Protein backbone atom coordinates (compact mmCIF):
# COMPACT_ATOMS: atom_id res chain seq x y z
CA UNK A 1 0.00 0.00 0.00
CA UNK A 2 1.34 3.45 -0.87
CA UNK A 3 1.68 6.16 1.75
CA UNK A 4 -0.98 8.17 -0.08
CA UNK A 5 -3.46 5.33 0.07
CA UNK A 6 -2.64 4.77 3.74
CA UNK A 7 -3.58 8.39 4.46
CA UNK A 8 -6.68 8.45 2.29
CA UNK A 9 -8.35 5.18 3.24
CA UNK A 10 -9.17 6.06 6.89
CA UNK A 11 -10.87 9.25 5.65
CA UNK A 12 -12.83 7.27 3.05
CA UNK A 13 -13.94 4.76 5.70
CA UNK A 14 -15.01 7.57 8.04
CA UNK A 15 -16.97 9.29 5.29
CA UNK A 16 -18.69 6.03 4.32
CA UNK A 17 -19.61 5.38 7.94
CA UNK A 18 -21.09 8.88 8.36
CA UNK A 19 -23.02 8.63 5.09
CA UNK A 20 -24.50 5.27 6.11
CA UNK A 21 -25.65 6.73 9.43
CA UNK A 22 -27.27 9.70 7.70
CA UNK A 23 -29.02 7.50 5.16
CA UNK A 24 -30.31 5.21 7.86
CA UNK A 25 -31.67 8.13 9.90
CA UNK A 26 -33.26 9.77 6.87
CA UNK A 27 -34.93 6.74 5.33
CA UNK A 28 -36.06 4.62 8.29
CA UNK A 29 -39.35 5.51 10.00
CA UNK A 30 -39.10 6.99 13.48
CA UNK A 31 -39.72 4.76 16.47
CA UNK A 32 -43.24 4.80 17.83
CA UNK A 33 -43.52 6.84 21.06
CA UNK A 34 -45.31 5.21 24.00
CA UNK A 35 -45.35 5.46 27.80
CA UNK A 36 -44.21 3.19 30.63
CA UNK A 37 -45.94 3.60 33.99
CA UNK A 38 -43.59 3.20 36.98
CA UNK A 39 -43.69 4.45 40.58
CA UNK A 40 -42.07 7.86 40.95
CA UNK A 41 -39.50 6.35 43.34
CA UNK A 42 -38.33 3.88 40.67
CA UNK A 43 -38.02 6.63 38.07
CA UNK A 44 -35.96 8.69 40.52
CA UNK A 45 -33.59 5.77 41.17
CA UNK A 46 -33.12 5.21 37.43
CA UNK A 47 -32.42 8.90 36.89
CA UNK A 48 -29.92 9.00 39.74
CA UNK A 49 -28.10 5.87 38.53
CA UNK A 50 -28.00 6.99 34.90
CA UNK A 51 -28.38 10.79 34.60
CA UNK A 52 -27.42 10.63 30.91
CA UNK A 53 -30.11 8.07 30.05
CA UNK A 54 -32.99 9.73 28.14
CA UNK A 55 -36.31 9.42 30.01
CA UNK A 56 -38.12 8.68 26.75
CA UNK A 57 -35.83 5.93 25.45
CA UNK A 58 -36.76 2.64 27.15
CA UNK A 59 -37.93 -0.76 25.95
CA UNK A 60 -40.22 -2.99 28.02
CA UNK A 61 -39.40 -6.65 28.79
CA UNK A 62 -41.59 -9.16 30.61
CA UNK A 63 -43.90 -12.12 30.03
CA UNK A 64 -45.49 -12.82 26.65
CA UNK A 65 -48.28 -10.44 27.73
CA UNK A 66 -45.94 -7.54 28.49
CA UNK A 67 -47.45 -4.22 27.47
CA UNK A 68 -46.93 -0.48 27.56
CA UNK A 69 -48.56 1.90 30.04
CA UNK A 70 -49.74 0.31 33.29
CA UNK A 71 -49.68 -3.07 31.55
CA UNK A 72 -45.93 -3.18 32.05
CA UNK A 73 -46.11 -3.53 35.84
CA UNK A 74 -48.62 -6.38 35.59
CA UNK A 75 -46.40 -8.55 33.41
CA UNK A 76 -42.82 -7.39 34.13
CA UNK A 77 -41.74 -9.50 37.11
CA UNK A 78 -40.67 -13.10 36.48
CA UNK A 79 -38.33 -15.71 37.92
CA UNK A 80 -36.97 -16.30 41.44
CA UNK A 81 -36.43 -13.83 42.92
CA UNK A 82 -38.94 -11.92 40.83
CA UNK A 83 -37.30 -9.26 38.68
CA UNK A 84 -38.28 -7.04 35.78
CA UNK A 85 -36.14 -5.30 33.17
CA UNK A 86 -36.08 -2.18 31.03
CA UNK A 87 -33.76 -1.94 28.06
CA UNK A 88 -32.35 1.27 26.70
CA UNK A 89 -33.76 1.78 23.21
CA UNK A 90 -31.36 0.87 20.38
CA UNK A 91 -32.96 0.34 16.96
CA UNK A 92 -36.37 -0.54 15.61
CA UNK A 93 -36.49 -3.42 13.17
CA UNK A 94 -37.03 -0.99 10.29
CA UNK A 95 -34.02 1.10 11.35
CA UNK A 96 -31.86 -2.02 11.61
CA UNK A 97 -32.87 -3.21 8.14
CA UNK A 98 -32.28 0.21 6.60
CA UNK A 99 -28.85 0.43 8.19
CA UNK A 100 -27.89 -2.97 6.73
CA UNK A 101 -29.25 -2.05 3.29
CA UNK A 102 -27.41 1.29 3.10
CA UNK A 103 -24.08 0.50 4.81
CA UNK A 104 -20.99 -0.85 3.06
CA UNK A 105 -19.90 -4.13 4.63
CA UNK A 106 -16.56 -2.86 6.04
CA UNK A 107 -18.35 -0.26 8.21
CA UNK A 108 -21.56 -2.18 8.89
CA UNK A 109 -20.46 -4.24 11.87
CA UNK A 110 -18.56 -1.40 13.52
CA UNK A 111 -21.55 0.88 13.16
CA UNK A 112 -23.95 -1.64 14.66
CA UNK A 113 -21.57 -2.41 17.52
CA UNK A 114 -21.33 1.28 18.37
CA UNK A 115 -25.09 1.62 18.33
CA UNK A 116 -25.75 -1.37 20.56
CA UNK A 117 -22.85 -0.58 22.91
CA UNK A 118 -24.90 2.34 24.23
CA UNK A 119 -27.68 0.01 25.40
CA UNK A 120 -28.29 0.14 29.14
CA UNK A 121 -30.22 -2.40 31.21
CA UNK A 122 -32.36 -1.47 34.21
CA UNK A 123 -32.91 -4.17 36.85
CA UNK A 124 -36.19 -3.82 38.77
CA UNK A 125 -36.68 -5.80 41.96
CA UNK A 126 -40.12 -7.25 42.75
CA UNK A 127 -42.89 -4.64 43.10
CA UNK A 128 -40.36 -1.90 42.22
CA UNK A 129 -38.68 -2.28 45.62
CA UNK A 130 -35.40 -1.21 44.02
CA UNK A 131 -34.04 -0.17 40.63
CA UNK A 132 -30.48 -0.11 39.36
CA UNK A 133 -28.84 0.47 35.99
CA UNK A 134 -26.19 -1.87 34.61
CA UNK A 135 -23.35 -0.38 32.59
CA UNK A 136 -22.61 -1.08 28.95
CA UNK A 137 -22.77 -4.74 27.85
CA UNK A 138 -19.69 -6.77 28.75
CA UNK A 139 -19.98 -8.68 25.47
CA UNK A 140 -21.45 -7.71 22.11
CA UNK A 141 -21.89 -10.16 19.25
CA UNK A 142 -23.03 -8.63 15.95
CA UNK A 143 -22.94 -10.58 12.70
CA UNK A 144 -24.66 -10.00 9.36
CA UNK A 145 -24.02 -12.81 6.85
CA UNK A 146 -22.09 -11.52 3.84
CA UNK A 147 -24.40 -13.27 1.31
CA UNK A 148 -27.45 -11.55 2.85
CA UNK A 149 -25.73 -8.16 2.82
CA UNK A 150 -24.54 -8.63 -0.76
CA UNK A 151 -28.11 -9.37 -1.81
CA UNK A 152 -29.48 -6.25 -0.08
CA UNK A 153 -26.81 -3.55 -0.31
CA UNK A 154 -27.45 -0.94 -2.97
CA UNK A 155 -30.45 -2.79 -4.43
CA UNK A 156 -34.22 -2.64 -4.16
CA UNK A 157 -34.62 -6.35 -3.57
CA UNK A 158 -37.17 -7.16 -0.87
CA UNK A 159 -35.87 -8.57 2.43
CA UNK A 160 -37.84 -11.74 3.10
CA UNK A 161 -38.85 -15.16 1.85
CA UNK A 162 -41.60 -15.37 -0.77
CA UNK A 163 -42.46 -11.70 -0.29
CA UNK A 164 -42.37 -11.16 -4.07
CA UNK A 165 -44.24 -14.23 -5.28
CA UNK A 166 -41.21 -16.34 -4.36
CA UNK A 167 -39.23 -14.59 -7.08
CA UNK A 168 -35.50 -15.04 -7.42
CA UNK A 169 -34.94 -11.32 -6.87
CA UNK A 170 -35.48 -11.37 -3.13
CA UNK A 171 -33.23 -11.76 -0.10
CA UNK A 172 -34.39 -14.73 1.95
CA UNK A 173 -32.72 -15.41 5.30
CA UNK A 174 -33.50 -19.12 5.03
CA UNK A 175 -31.10 -19.25 2.08
CA UNK A 176 -28.66 -16.46 2.91
CA UNK A 177 -28.47 -16.57 6.71
CA UNK A 178 -29.90 -14.36 9.45
CA UNK A 179 -28.32 -11.48 11.39
CA UNK A 180 -27.18 -12.18 14.94
CA UNK A 181 -27.19 -9.56 17.70
CA UNK A 182 -26.49 -10.65 21.29
CA UNK A 183 -25.71 -8.33 24.20
CA UNK A 184 -24.50 -9.74 27.53
CA UNK A 185 -24.52 -8.19 31.01
CA UNK A 186 -23.40 -9.58 34.37
CA UNK A 187 -25.47 -8.85 37.45
CA UNK A 188 -23.93 -10.57 40.45
CA UNK A 189 -24.30 -14.31 39.89
CA UNK A 190 -26.77 -13.78 37.04
CA UNK A 191 -26.04 -13.50 33.32
CA UNK A 192 -28.42 -11.54 31.12
CA UNK A 193 -28.37 -11.91 27.34
CA UNK A 194 -30.47 -9.86 24.92
CA UNK A 195 -31.24 -11.72 21.71
CA UNK A 196 -32.20 -8.83 19.44
CA UNK A 197 -34.14 -9.41 16.24
CA UNK A 198 -35.29 -6.99 13.56
CA UNK A 199 -38.49 -9.04 13.28
CA UNK A 200 -41.32 -7.68 15.42
CA UNK A 201 -42.13 -9.85 18.44
CA UNK A 202 -39.03 -12.04 18.29
CA UNK A 203 -36.52 -10.19 20.54
CA UNK A 204 -36.06 -11.64 24.03
CA UNK A 205 -33.94 -11.33 27.16
CA UNK A 206 -32.49 -14.46 28.76
CA UNK A 207 -31.82 -14.45 32.51
CA UNK A 208 -29.49 -17.25 33.59
CA UNK A 209 -28.63 -18.27 37.13
CA UNK A 210 -26.75 -21.52 37.58
CA UNK A 211 -28.71 -24.14 35.67
CA UNK A 212 -31.97 -22.16 35.45
CA UNK A 213 -33.08 -19.83 32.69
CA UNK A 214 -35.99 -17.36 32.48
CA UNK A 215 -37.15 -15.85 29.20
CA UNK A 216 -38.51 -12.29 28.91
CA UNK A 217 -40.18 -10.96 25.76
CA UNK A 218 -38.92 -7.49 24.78
CA UNK A 219 -40.84 -4.83 22.83
CA UNK A 220 -37.93 -3.30 20.91
CA UNK A 221 -39.93 -1.54 18.19
CA UNK A 222 -40.99 1.48 20.26
CA UNK A 223 -39.48 4.05 22.62
CA UNK A 224 -41.09 4.16 26.06
CA UNK A 225 -41.21 7.36 28.10
CA UNK A 226 -41.17 6.83 31.86
CA UNK A 227 -44.28 8.23 33.54
CA UNK A 228 -44.87 8.43 37.28
CA UNK A 229 -47.83 6.28 38.29
CA UNK A 230 -49.23 4.20 41.13
CA UNK A 231 -48.66 1.08 38.98
CA UNK A 232 -47.72 -2.00 41.05
Distance CA 189, CA 186 (A): 7
Distance CA 38, CA 62 (A): 14
pLDDT at 40: 93
pLDDT at 27: 45
pLDDT at 30: 55
Q: Divide the 232 residues of the chain into consecutive groups of 10 and give the mean pLDDT of each group.
A: 35 39 44 84 92 89 94 94 94 94 94 93 94 93 97 92 77 95 97 96 95 95 89 62
For 67, what's the count of Cα atoms within 13 Å in the CB-facing half-sphere?
Answer: 6
Q: Comparing C-alpha atoms, which of 56, 79, 53 is closest to residue 207? A: 79
pLDDT at 212: 94
pLDDT at 24: 43
Radius of gyration of the chain (CA): 19
pLDDT at 232: 61
Its pTM stands at: 0.83
pLDDT at 15: 42
End-to-end CA distance of the chain: 63
pLDDT at 48: 92
pLDDT at 56: 86
CB 38 within 8 A of CB 227: yes
Amino acid sequence: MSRTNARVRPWVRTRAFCVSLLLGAALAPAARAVELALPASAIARIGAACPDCPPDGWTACGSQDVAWGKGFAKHAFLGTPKRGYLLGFSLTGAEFRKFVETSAYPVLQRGLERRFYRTRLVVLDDAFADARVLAAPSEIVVAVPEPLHACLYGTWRPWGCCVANCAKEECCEKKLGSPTVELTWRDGDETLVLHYSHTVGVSWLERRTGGTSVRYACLVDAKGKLRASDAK
